[in-house]
């Protein structure tokens, strides 16, 4: 099969492609949009994030932001994907929807040949197993770790009986995600979408937040304000102690880790 025919056969109702027009570059805002015609043709709702995977097993999580012109990938996340894959002006990308927010991305050069191995200088990921998944129950992606290894995290807790988890601050920090293993371990429950919650900071100050859901998984909006107020940087670690009302998480007490 010719490379051109192979690329065409990748396209279907569950896929879309991206390439550059004159005057564009891969970091142009127009390259970050999820095509409206694709969204109309799928029953999935991509309100918050997508995960892109490539043939050499690397993957990227990209947060989404709607505006009046459509649904866009956040610039920081998209730029990282572009840089990591050394995209050139003649490349064509084919995005194939696989499951919920997951997409396979295939990269084709000008001659139609597909890139099937990591670019020079990029280390491919090993095949993922249950031992290499994050605390959120998703495969850990580059720069998107959601849990941290903290020695004796219990020592930070105000109430040793409270459920908790350790978190590493990520580049996309506008939400605090609660991982499935933590939810199952403690039998946590959460309020309805957009219900009020709060963060309690080390000085006792409260920051208001909201309960959100991403593909059925709970998250808390307001985390970005916490990170900004305390100048938390990517890679910093905190222990999150959950304040409960019955079995429902009403708030998150944030403890800074000094390791």
Lowest mean pLDDT among 38-47, 72-81, 148-157: 38-47
pLDDT over 90 for what percent of the chain?
38
Check pLDDT > 60 for residue 147.
no
Check pLDDT > 60 for residue 142.
no
pLDDT at 9: 52
| CA distance readout (Å), 161 to 153, 156, 228, 241 | 13, 12, 29, 10
pLDDT band, residue 140 (cuts 50/70/90): very low
pLDDT at 121: 54
**pLDDT, average across residues 165-187:** 86
Residues in the chain: 259
pLDDT at 135: 34
pLDDT band, residue 131 (cuts 50/70/90): very low
Exposed/middle/buried for residue 249 (C-beta within 10 Å: 0-12, 13-18, 19+): buried
Q: Which residue has the tokens 């009020």?
A: 196
pLDDT band, residue 47 (cuts 50/70/90): low
pLDDT band, residue 221 (cuts 50/70/90): very high
Check pLDDT > 80 for residue 16.
yes
Enumerate domains of the chain plus CATH numbers: 3-115 (2.40.330.10), 153-256 (2.40.330.10)
pLDDT at 73: 93
Nearest to 143 by CA among 185, 211, 190, 80: 80
More confident residue, 56 or 119: 56
* CB distance 187 to 249 below 8 Å: no
pLDDT band, residue 218 (cuts 50/70/90): confident
- Angstrom distance (rounded) from CA 120 to CA 132: 24
Check pLDDT > 70 for residue 2.
no
pLDDT over 70 for what percent of the chain?
80
pLDDT band, residue 13 (cuts 50/70/90): low
pLDDT at 3: 52
């Amino acid at each position: 099969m010719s490379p051109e025919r192979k690329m065409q056969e990748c396209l279907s109702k569950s896929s879309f492609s991206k390439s550059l027009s004159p005057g564009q570059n891969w970091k142009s805002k127009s390259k970050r949009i999820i095509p409206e015609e694709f969204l109309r043709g799928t029953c999935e709702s991509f309100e918050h994030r997508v995960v892109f995977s490539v043939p050499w097993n690397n993957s990227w999580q990209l947060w989404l932001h709607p505006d009046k012109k459509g649904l866009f990938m956040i610039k920081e996340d998209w730029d990282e994907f572009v840089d990591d894959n050394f995209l050139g002006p003649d490349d064509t990308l084919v995005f194939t929807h696989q499951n919920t927010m997951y997409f396979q991305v295939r990269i084709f050069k000008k001659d139609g040949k597909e890139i099937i191995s990591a670019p020079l200088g990029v280390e491919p990921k090993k095949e993922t197993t249950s031992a290499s998944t994050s605390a959120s129950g998703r495969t850990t992606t580059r720069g998107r770790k959601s849990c941290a290894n903290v020695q004796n995290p219990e020592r930070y807790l105000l109430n040793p009986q409270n459920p908790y988890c350790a978190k590493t601050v990520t580049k996309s920090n506008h939400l605090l995600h609660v991982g499935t293993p933590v939810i199952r371990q403690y039998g946590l429950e959460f309020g309805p979408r957009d219900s009020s919650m709060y963060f309690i900071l080390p000085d006792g100050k409260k920051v208001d937040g909201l309960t959100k859901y991403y593909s059925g998984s709970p998250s808390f909006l307001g985390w970005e304000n916490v990170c900004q107020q305390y100048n938390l940087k990517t890679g910093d670690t905190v222990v999150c102690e959950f304040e409960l009302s019955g079995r429902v998480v009403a708030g998150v007490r944030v403890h800074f880790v000094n390791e």
